């Protein structure tokens, strides 16, 4: 892969400029075909570390590696011409300190052509975000429910209820002040999401937050009905392709066992078909 970022219609500055304007549209993607389907409809496409659960059957995102993110990032990059490519930094690749974060973020961008990285954390990650931005790496922040911290958060709970709301607001202000160009708000109360959107200078991207956020993101396998292990409250299923795919597979299996497939039109004869000589 080229050491330079892939050129796209959208940039981090474009996303930042959408604050308070037309809502920002985003989905996750992990493969080239899916990226091609969403390229003209999304402003940015995220290669999320959710790929550990969605694509690899892991129980959480904690087992995702840099190599996995790079592999799927390269695949998604091949399918994008218009949407901006953002890639998650996996657990353990940035928490140690700014220098570690820079090395791994630079590697992600160099080997995939991504235009930005996303990392989880608020106040405690502000120094790292500032370090990365100062060195040319656009950062999308992620606060509220941060799945990489599931063990310390006590599960996949709503974040920011009651007095915790001030802490989430402080996180949002910290990442904005540090130079993040946008911030994902995951699984926070609607009123808090609206407050953060009104008070911070960068776009908010909601997932289980509020329609008042500056944009929205969903895991594509959730909204298409491919991932069926569980369904979060904030997910709307726009299709049930998992059920359709299983039905198609069952029909194929039945036809193979009944020797109905392949049929005559799917096999080859001993003689090549004659070519027409008519003009």
Q: Which residues make up each annotated binding site for 3-methyl-2-oxobutanoate?
A: 49-50, 88, 118
Tell me, letter by letter, the H, E, C secondary structure of 25-41: EEEECCCHHHHHHHCCC
Question: What residues form the annotated binding site?
Answer: 49-50, 88, 118, 120
DSSP 5-29: PPP-S--HHHHHHTTTSSPEEEEE-
Structure tokens at 239: 């299709």
Q: Where are the strands (E) in 22-154, listed by range?
A: 24-28, 44-47, 84-88, 116-120, 139-144
- Answer whether 145's CB lies under 8 Å from 159's CB: yes
Q: How far apart are CA 269 and CA 56, in angstroms?
A: 41
Q: Within 13 Å and on the Cβ side, how many CA atoms surround 82? A: 10
Neighbouring-strand partners of residue 205: 184, 215
Q: Which of 95, 111, 163, 186 is catalytic?
A: 186
Indicate if the alpha-carbon torsion angle 39, 41, 44, 46 is positive or negative: negative
Question: What residues form the annotated binding site for Mg(2+)?
Answer: 49, 88, 120
Residue 186 bears catalytic tag: yes
- Say whether the peptide bond before residue 211 is cis (omega within 30 degrees of 0): no
Catalytic center residues: 186
């Amino acid at each position: 892969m080229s050491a330079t970022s892939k050129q796209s219609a959208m940039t981090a500055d474009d996303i930042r400029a959408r604050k308070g304007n037309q809502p920002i549209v985003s989905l996750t993607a992990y493969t080239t075909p899916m990226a091609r389907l969403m390229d003209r409809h999304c402003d940015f496409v995220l290669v999320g570390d959710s790929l550990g659960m969605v694509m690899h059957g892991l129980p959480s995102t904690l087992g995702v590696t840099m190599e996995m993110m790079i592999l799927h990032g390269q695949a998604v990059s091949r399918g994008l011409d218009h949407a901006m490519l953002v890639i998650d930094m996996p657990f353990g690749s940035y928490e140690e300190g700014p220098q570690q974060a820079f090395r791994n973020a630079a590697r992600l961008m160099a080997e995939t052509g991504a235009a930005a990285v996303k990392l989880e954390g608020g106040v405690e990650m502000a120094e790292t975000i500032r370090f990365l931005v100062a060195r040319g790496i656009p950062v999308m922040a992620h606060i509220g429910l941060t799945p990489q911290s599931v063990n310390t958060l006590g599960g996949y709970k709503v974040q920011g209820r009651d007095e915790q709301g001030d802490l989430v607001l402080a996180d949002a202000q910290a990442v904005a002040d540090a130079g993040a160009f946008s911030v994902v708000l995951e699984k926070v109360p609607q009123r808090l999401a609206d407050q953060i959107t009104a008070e911070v200078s960068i776009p908010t991207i909601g997932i289980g937050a509020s329609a008042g956020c500056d944009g929205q993101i969903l895991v594509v396998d959730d909204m298409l009905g491919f991932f069926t292990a569980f369904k979060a409250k904030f997910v709307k299923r726009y299709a049930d392709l998992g059920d359709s795919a299983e039905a198609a597979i069952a029909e194929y299996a039945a036809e193979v066992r009944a020797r109905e497939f392949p049929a005559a039109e799917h096999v080859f004869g001993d003689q090549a078909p004659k070519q027409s000589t008519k003009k």
